[in-house]
Chain A
Amino acid sequence: MTGEKPTGNVFKNLPPGVCIPWEEKLKDLGEIKGDADIIRNEWDKLELFAYLYLWYWVQR
């Protein structure tokens, strides 16, 4: 078995549906010239997909 040692987490206590918090992404994006909500909405959709992909293997 690989991954024998727990590696420690980058994030703590993330709510359901989130893999990388939007606030964290905002830091990378810097200044947003247009409508931040448009960007965030689509970001959240793909966040949800990634989250459900990961949890699928646990809730099977």
Chain B
Amino acid sequence: MSNDKSKLLEERKKRYLTALDCGKPDRVPIGLTVSEFMAKVAGFTLQEIYYDLDKNLKALAKFVEEYEVDTFFSAPSLWWAASHDAVGAVYLKFAGRELEPNTQFQYVEGEFMLPEDYDAFIENPTEWILTTYLPRIHKEFAEPGSYRASVALIKGAGARAMELQLTQQGTAKIMEEYGVVPAGTGLTKAPFDTLGDALRGLKGIMMDMRKVPDKLKAAMEVLVPHNIFYALATAGGDTEFPAFMPLHRGAYPFLNPRQWDEFYWPTLKKVIEGLWEKGKRTYFFAEGDWTPYLERIAELPDKSIVFHVDMTDIDKAKKILGGRFCLKGNIPNSLLAVGKPEEVRDYVKRLIDEYAADGGFVIDAAAVVQGDAKEENIRAVIETVLLYGKY
């Protein structure tokens, strides 16, 4: 690493971590959570970044080279499509396969865990995943023990190892060559979302709250240590940067407040507190509107989360969480997509003046920045922070 790059890396790290600790760094950090937008910057189709790991990482390098950000989120594609093809994944659709080459990937939601699976899941989720769940979500693995299934398992595991290694090398390169720090390390979920996203599905889990509440609760309790462990293991043990936690079904108005208190919050709180006890902060990526739950979130230990503001009322978030937790957000993605640079500038300036003035704030979009954002608008974000964001 060259000297000036390592100095830059230290500067940015200090800037970011100071803000996460609710302090005032030299200026407001720029922590844009950017995904498919990077493909556009690098001139790749979405199929190219979904399928070609090398291009996926190159797009990230191109982005941090051209845009002066303090942190990076990940390479543009969270998925290596080939690894999902190898196992015959039924829950994702990819550009270039069943979608047009420049189309955002799509989730196919399903009830891949059935209500009658709860007992086996509660008894030993790891084993249940292999024996019951994978055969359902991986077409190639539909008959474990068969020739095709065995090949799929070899390929799936091999792909995962390759992907992890290349991603680690790629991100280390971003830090060394561009002096940009990761916004987070490791990933985990709220136990309710682990079940509600990939296993029971939205409708399934909503039924479970009424029909099998005790089993749902028992399953979430079983998930608590696994979700804590998963965050730390996927972070490779790092506790300097927060663990990314995309939060879904806890947003208003999915659950009524009684359900939120009874089902969503208790195990989520345990995961966050468990991580914090191990020195790991959680990047609370609150997708949607979390305004009604801010008081409950404020029960968490000081600084144990970075609260990402999407549709949440930012004034209330500032009032209730400010000073105790770093806030991150909240330039509307529709503004980045259809607005003019002047409008973006005004918005960012207002964020700096009204919410970042006393520190503990990171500038970001409201949601993950995809291919619809205009390049001039992303530039406007950065220029505005560089111009007005000094403390």
Interface on A for B, CB 8 Å cutoff? Answer: 1-4, 6-19, 48-60
Contact = CB atoms under 8 A, between A and B. Distances in A.
Contact of B129 (A13, A15, A54): A54
B230 A11 contact: no
Contacts, number: 94
Given A2-B143, A55-B230, A60-B198, A18 B126 contact: yes
A16 B225 contact: yes
Contacts of A58: 125, 129, 133, 194, 198-199
A57 B187 CA distance: 13
3 smallest CB-CB distances across A and B, nearest first, come from A16-B229, A3-B135, A6-B120
Residue among B114, B124, B227 having the largest count of chain A Cβ atoms under 10 Å: B124
A17 B229 contact: yes
Given A16-B230, A17-B233, A53-B160, A6 B119 contact: yes
B226 interface: yes
Nearest to A50: B157
Given A3-B133, A53-B156, 15 more contacts: A3-B142, A4-B114, A6-B120, A7-B120, A9-B123, A16-B226, A16-B230, A19-B126, A49-B157, A51-B126, A52-B230, A57-B137, A58-B133, A58-B199, A60-B198
Contact of B117 (A6, A15, A18): A6
A15 to B, nearest CB: 7
Given A10-B127, A13-B123, A59-B194, A2 B226 contact: no
Contacts of A60: 197-198
Contacts of B136: 1-3
Contacts of A18: 126
B277 to A, nearest CB: 15
A59 B127 contact: no
Given A53-B160, A55-B226, A3 B189 contact: no
Interface of B: 114, 116-117, 119-120, 123-138, 142-143, 156-157, 160-161, 187-189, 194, 197-199, 225-230, 233-234
B157 A53 contact: yes
Contacts of B124: 9, 11-14
19 contacts: A2-B142, A3-B142, A6-B117, A7-B120, A10-B127, A13-B124, A15-B225, A16-B226, A16-B229, A16-B230, A17-B229, A19-B127, A52-B230, A53-B157, A54-B134, A55-B230, A57-B138, A60-B197, A60-B198
Contacts of B116: 6
Contact of B131 (A3, A13, A48): A3
Given A14-B126, A16-B229, A9 B234 contact: no
Given A1-B136, A53-B160, A12 B194 contact: no
A11 B127 CA distance: 8
Contacts of A19: 126-127, 130
Nearest to A4: B114
Nearest to B125: A58
Residue among A1, A12, A13, A50 having the largest count of chain B Cβ atoms under 10 Å: A1
A52 B197 CA distance: 18
A56 B160 contact: yes
Contacts of B132: 3, 6-7
